[in-house]
Amino acid sequence: MLMVVMYHHINSDDLGLSNEMSLFREHLAYIRDHYHCVLPGDTLSDTSTNVCLTFDDAYFDFYHYVFPLLKEFKLRAMLGVPVKFIGEATNLAADKRLSLKHDEIYQADNYRTHGSFCTYPELQEMVDSGLVRIASHSYTHSNLVEDEVDMEYELGESKRVLEQKLNIKVDTFIIPFGRYNDEVLQAAKKYYQYTMRIGNGINRNFDGVKGLIYRVKGDRLTSPSSIFSLGKLFKYRYKTFIKSFA
């Protein structure tokens, strides 16, 4: 069994997309002690549940809060990066970079003036640690179904820039907002080996369900192990079973 978990913020005002730091620390400790942590392409354990940690949007709070925890617990994670929002090095203080409310980040150029996202040097540091794998989260983080977008640019150019800037191979695409259609899926297959979406389902392996890797929402945890309860696991399995025949 492969359970891919999706997170966004730490200590954000948007509780639906965030976790409180102390609880999240306990959550990662629980995963370290009970599960086999993997990334796409890794060999899966036959005797333990495999868990893949994914974080969307590359907010600065990932570098500030999560990356130190990954080092402490010796866990690895995948970070979905929307290229448009990533800048070069900054001298802004951490408290300023963490000061905006979630909705304020996307207003005008607030994310630039406040350094609300990771920078390329920070991404490079995390990549070099061996603990963070970079995925494309498109170029502009647009709704690829409802917005007027250049699909080749959103998927192809985002991959090219990340690979060139960080000297890495990017083989995973995380669909923004989980919205997709056949055009999105075909474009993703053209550029990436793995495609992830929202969906609260469990996968057998990194082939996913019909080529889509389902992720479980890890934001707004109520306890360190809340997403691993028997009731939740049953719902995740049922969702994946239904989708496999849809």
Over residues 111-126, the pLDDT tens digits come to 999 999 999 999 999 9
CB-count exposure of residue 45 (10 Å: 0-12, 13-18, 19+): middle
CATH number at residue 73: 3.20.20.370
Question: Does 246 score more than 80 pLDDT?
Answer: no
Instruction: Give the integer Cα–Cα distance in Å for 124 and 41.
Output: 21
User: How many domains in the chain?
Assistant: 1
Q: What integer best gives the mean pLDDT of the chain? A: 95
Give the domain range for residue 145. 2-243
Query: Stretch 205-219: mean pLDDT, rounded?
Result: 95
Pick from 37-51, 63-77, 179-193, 230-244: least confident = 230-244
In sequence order, the 6+-apart residues with CB closer than 8 A to the CB of 153 are 139
pLDDT in tens, 88-114: 999 999 999 999 999 999 998 999 999
The count of other CB atoms within 10 Å of the CB of residue 31 is 23
Q: Calculate ∠ Cα 43-125-213, nearest 5°.
A: 35
Instruction: Give the integer Cα–Cα distance in Å for 226 and 232.
Output: 8
Question: Does 239 score more than 90 pLDDT?
Answer: no
